[in-house]
Chain A
Amino acid sequence: MSPRDLRGLVPPEPMEIILDAVDAATSGQRLSFVLPHFPGPLLPMLRDRMVRFDSEMLPDMSGVIFHVDIP
């Protein structure tokens, strides 16, 4: 599934979308989002939810792909 592009949204809209998606996801699911930059403020809230995450830079450097793995 292609990652959901959240680059046109102003904070905290992308954070709300990601947190809602994480809360609604099922075990073993991998969620991916395209963001304009690394989502620093989101990390403590993801850690609280015990999910794993990683990121990679887009090839044209215009943003990052942020992956969340639901345990």
Chain B
Amino acid sequence: MQAIPSYDSAPPLDLPVRFFMAAWLWLLLLAGAWHGTADGSYPSPGLWLPLHLLALGVLGNVMLGALLQLLAVVSALGFPRPAIWRYGLWGSWQIGCVALFSAFAGGLDAFWLQLASLAFAVAGGMLAWLWWLLWRSPAQDSSSRGLRWALGFLLLTLGLGIAQLGVLGWGQPWPLLTLLPLHRLAAQGWVWLLLVAVAQVILPMFLLTPALPGWWQRWAAPGWGGLLLLAGALSLRWPDGGWWWLAALPLPLLALVWWRALRQGRRPQEWLPGYWRLALGLLLALCVAFVAGQWLDGAVLRRLQGWLLLGGVALTLCVGMLYRIVPFLLWLQLRRGVKPQQKVPSLQVLLPEARARRGWQLLCLWQLAGVLWCLWPALWWLPAISGSLLAAALLVHYRAAWLRWRQGTQPVVKAEVASG
């Protein structure tokens, strides 16, 4: 059965937006986390702190907010009691982040590790419930199927992460060195499969590209998910076999599919394709880094792979998509509230195009800073400064959009009061 996208069941505006705003706050705080990477050691708690701040605090929040919105709109999942998600998922996620980052910053203190494991267990429980709801949903479109896979890998990532917290914080005798690479692999699955599912909706809708090829829509998520699981299983059986390349196998295909779609976009002069082109360039660089990783081994290359995935492709697409989606959600909320003939501010008024272009420039600066840090970790202050500039710009831009949105609703309320 094909589900019709339904905005009737969309969650209240503040549910996804609180995740997005938390993400930019974490991006600002990330500036204070880079100094521990100056010695270039890999892996190390000094590196885990900015890595998890970026992955959980920034990307995790954006992706969870986007996931809730997308599940409602694409897969017709209802959120009849949003407070459960507002406090249960959002709250436990932020507490987990605070506790985990405190643990990494404070020498793996057991209290913080235990608190993080409990908070993420609550978040994991809620996401497992969401996954169950999604399985029960009649939606069988390719995006919904992709979201099932992505959410499954998020649960796997969380489970493996909590197991590591069990070792470090609760003294459980589990094999940390086996759990760590599997956790990394599952996290890649969550990021890539979510991007694949989201792109299937976003590219045709906002970049006016043709629909992505049918074979890609049908097979990308199960194929890639299967490869990730296979890589994990083979690595468990033969730990020194270096099977991680299996998980990176679809990357060039992903780059090709996105590139072809972008070439056929109807509005190439718009600002949003610029974000996708940047992400595509970073994706190609990541492919090269993965190929090089088969012959060369070294901390620089591993840092580069991590950076290009998280700070590169994923963050670029998150920032770009939110510059489009947040004003669209604000506009939609305003448009629904007004009476016929009443005008609402346009997207351009809510969040001017110049700001999205400024965000892109700051993102380019962030990419340059990140690559330089990968090569020379002593330059940790470069991503710290460029990241805080980017975060400050994002917070200022979204605050201005929110203020404009509030102005837009006021005349309607006054008119209704007057007529009542």
Contact = CB atoms under 8 A, between A and B. Distances in A.
Contacts of A28: none
Contacts of B347: 12
Main secondary structure of the interface of B (DSSP, over half): loop
B129 interface: no
Nearest to A62: B210
Contacts, number: 51
B401 to A, nearest CB: 15
Interface string B265-278: 01100100000000
Given A10-B208, A11-B328, A43 B7 contact: yes
Interface in A1-36: 7-8, 10-12, 15-16, 19, 23, 36
A52 interface: no
Given A12-B328, A40-B6, A45 B335 contact: yes
B340 A23 contact: yes
Contacts of B335: 12, 15, 19, 45
B390 interface: no
Given A11-B328, A12-B331, A23-B341, A44 B205 contact: no
Interface string B346-360: 110000000000000
A40 B7 contact: yes
Contacts of A10: 206, 208, 267, 270
B4 interface: yes
Contacts of A53: none
A41 B346 CA distance: 16
Contacts of B88: none
Interface string B193-206: 00000000000111
Given A12-B328, A12-B331, A7 B208 contact: yes
A18 to B, nearest CB: 11
Interface string B1-26: 00011111000000000000000000
Contacts of B73: 40-41
Interface core residue of A19, A41, A43, A45 (most chain B CB under 10 Å): A41
A16 B342 CA distance: 11
- How big is the A interface, by class? 20 to 34
Contacts of A36: 204-205, 208
Given A11-B205, A15-B335, A43 B8 contact: yes
Interface in B1-57: 4-8
B224 to A, nearest CB: 24
Given A10-B208, A12-B332, A44 B7 contact: yes
Contacts of B331: 12
B206 A40 contact: no
Contacts of B6: 40, 43
A8 B265 CA distance: 9
A68 B4 CA distance: 18
A43 B336 CA distance: 11
B65 to A, nearest CB: 18
A43 B6 CA distance: 8
Nearest first, the 9 A-B pairs at minimum CB distance are A40-B5, A23-B340, A41-B7, A8-B266, A44-B8, A40-B7, A44-B7, A12-B331, A23-B341
Interface of A: 7-8, 10-12, 15-16, 19, 23, 36-38, 40-41, 43-45, 48-49, 62
Given A12-B347, A23-B340, 18 more contacts: A8-B208, A10-B206, A10-B208, A10-B270, A16-B346, A36-B205, A37-B211, A38-B5, A40-B4, A40-B5, A40-B6, A40-B7, A41-B5, A41-B332, A43-B6, A44-B7, A45-B335, A49-B340
22 contacts: A7-B208, A7-B266, A8-B267, A10-B206, A10-B208, A11-B328, A12-B328, A12-B347, A19-B340, A36-B204, A36-B205, A37-B205, A37-B211, A40-B4, A40-B7, A40-B73, A41-B73, A41-B332, A43-B6, A43-B8, A45-B335, A62-B210
